[in-house]
Structure 1
Amino acid sequence: MSPPLALESQVQALTDLYNSIQNARHYPRELLKNTIVPNPLTLAPPSLSLYSQQLKDIVHMLRSDAVQSALRAAQESEKTDGQNIMNNVRRENRKRRRPPSPESPQPYTVIERQSSSLFPATEDSALLKSSELVEYIRQFNKEHSSCRLGIWQGTRSSIRDVKNPAILRFTIKDVLMAYLTVSYTVNDLSLVVESVTAFGPRERKLPHSQSEYSVYRMLSQELGRMIHSDPQVGLQKFMTLLCSYENMFTARCDKCQRVLCVEGHVAAVERVWDESNGRWEPRHVSC
């Protein structure tokens, strides 16, 4: 074996090997699929024979004493001080990349927005105006014997002016009491329901407080969910919902047919509109 080459000779030997391997990357793929025989000139085209000979030259170069000595020297140098040695040789990506073709414009499709309101889509009369509230309350109390509706005021006063927002007090005898907040705007005097808080029939609570009983707190949450589904719900439509709670503690759930749910033993505080029967059906929250 020949003595170790000088540093310049070792670098030159490795550089020549690297260039030969890089040139071999452009050889046709048939060289990897066909078996190279001792006499390729009689079995393969001249171009393949030339490439085969060049591959053999690379193998001989790799096995030569000069290259092997340079590789051993590089390995020993790396073991001695392997820090700050980085492979800065970047592979050149010669594969042609096709630029992305622009997508064809898609036709505009009109999506019909479906209403998320939980209230029935009835074509009733116009919404109640603020000036009509007092007369509506009188007519409502005449038509409902067990339900009462009135304007709530924080202090006793003989003047019954409709404020904005106004707080209404609704009661069902021996069932519940609820405070309704209704309001209107300058451009639209129609009354809409903003919020509802339910209490027990004998609880003495203010509108901004909450009930001490879980069933009425759940009822307040359910009524709030109904309002959230239709923030512009009118007072008349909402009162039909409240009147459906007249039998809250005796009505059976339309799903499980139980008065109290299995989990929590709570009455059916949820109401679902039945189009076929035209009425609100009771349902447990867990059902």
Structure 2
Amino acid sequence: MSPPPAVESQVQALTDLYNSIQNARHYPRDLLKATVLPNPLPLTPPSLSLYSQQLKDIAHTLRSDAVQAALRAAQESQKADGQNIMNNVRRENRKRRRPASPESPQPYTVTERQSSSLFPVTKDDLTCLKSSELVEYIRQFNKEHSSCKLGIWQGTRSSNKDVKNPATLRFTIKDVLTAYLTVSYTTSDLALLVESVTTFGPRERKLPHSQSEYSVYRMLSQEFGRMIHSDPQVGFQKFITLLCSYENMFTMRCDKCQRVLCVEGHVAAVERVWNESNGQWEPRHISC
């Protein structure tokens, strides 16, 4: 078998020397310091003696004719053509790496805008109630409901029955709650819209602009404000239907936890969620 070419033998000699030096990096630090002293102390442990012998072998290999010839050949080769030689190979590879190609733009897909309203959307929604129809609507509503009553609230005993803009309505559920509704209408379509609702206990003597002394009615007022904010254009009749669902507020069980009062705070289910399956408002605690 013919001997390997001179270049391959030189590369192999330098590779072996490089591996030996890399292994010497793991030797004890005190041993490496002791070897540079002119008269090092004798090393008694066998392991240190082994490391010392290996260092002597590396030094002997470095001074050998084969390694010295390989180093001179490498130096001459670098001087002849060393433009593309870099010490940091990892950095070079990182520079040459191509950046990831961006994804192709996707076509725009038109999605149906989802409504944020908490009120149901049904096909048989009633038309918006006009301001001129409010008095007749109140009369008809009071005839059809025995426990719920609706009327126009006036701060003074005035005989004027005209609907003001805005107007304050008084909605009551016997032994459950009293709610004051602020309604208004625009001059263009005259459709009544609910602006705010404030609830009180059935025996509280409070003005519409004040607040209840009981936390359950204050939470209920906040819940009505949240629902109005979700759909400011909700129909007046639909909102009255929501109010009627509180007729059994202190006896109905929560749709989630099946409790009348919640575990935290012991408050009734003041939230209402529309159930599409049965077409009714379901009670729910705010914490549920």
Cα distance per residue 1:239-287 (max 9 Å; x no partner) = 1110011111111112121111111111111111111111111111111
Whole-Å separation in 2 of the counterparts to 1:242 and 1:113: 28
| Cα distance between partner residues in 1 of 2:111 and 2:68 | 69
Residue in 1 aligned with 2:204?
A: 203
- Give yes or no for contact 1:196–1:223 (8 Å, CA) kept in 2: yes
Whether 1:53 aligns to 2:76 is yes
C-alpha displacement of 1:142? 0.6
Amino acid at match of 1:109: T
Which amino acid letter does the alignment assign opposite residue 251 of structure 2? T
Retained in 1: the 8 A contact 2:126–2:237?
no
Residues 260 and 267 of structure 1 are in contact (CA less than 8 Å); yes or no, is this contact kept in structure 2? yes
**Equivalent position amino acid for 1:246 in 2:** E
Residues 106, 219 of structure 1: CA spacing in aligned structure 2 closer, same or farther, 3 A cutoff?
same
- TM-score scaled to structure 1, two decimals? 0.67
**Residues in 2 aligned to 1:35 and 1:219: alpha-carbon distance in whole angstroms:** 86
Q: How does 1:1-287 map to 2 (within 5 A)?
A: 35=12, 38=66, 52-55=75-78, 105-123=105-123, 124-287=125-288
CA distance in 2, matches of 1:140, 1:36: 105
Offset at residue 106 of structure 1 (A): 3.5
Q: Distance in 1 between matches of 2:259 and 2:67?
A: 93
Q: How many residues are paired up?
A: 216
1:101: Cα distance to partner?
8.4
Q: Which ranges in structure 1 are unaligned for 5 or more consecutive residues?
A: 1-33, 44-48, 58-94
- Root-mean-square deviation (CA, aligned residues, Å) is 3.3
Quote the Cα distance in structure 2 between the aligned partners of 1:258 and 1:146. 24
Secondary structure in 1 aligned to 2:239? helix
Counterpart residue identity of residue 116, structure 1: S
CA 111–40 in structure 1, closer or farther in 2 if over 3 Å, else same: farther
Structure 2: gaps (5+ residues): 1-10, 15-65, 81-94
SS at match of 1:245: coil
Question: Structure 1, residues 93-128: CA drift from partner, whole Å, max 9, x if none?
Answer: xx6898998975542210211111111111212111
Deviations 1:45-77 (A, max 9, x none): xxxx976415489xxxxxxxxxxxxxxxxxxxx
- Cα 1:128–1:51 shift into 2, 3 Å: farther
Q: Is the 8 A contact 1:36 1:52 kept in 2?
A: no
Measure, in 2, the Cα distance between the counterparts of 1:39 and 1:146. Answer: 108
The TM-score normalised by the length of structure 2 is 0.66
Describe the SS at the equivalent of 2:218: helix
**Cα-to-partner distance string for 1:133-171 (whole Å, 9 max, x where unaligned):** 111111111111111111111211001111111111100
Partner Cα distance (1:122, 1:102) in 2: 45
CA distance in 2, matches of 1:209, 1:121: 33
Are 2:170 and 2:180, in contact at CA under 8 Å, matched by a contact in 1? Answer: yes
Distance (whole Å) between structure 2 residues aligned to residue 192 and residue 54 of structure 1:
90
Identity of aligned residues (%): 81
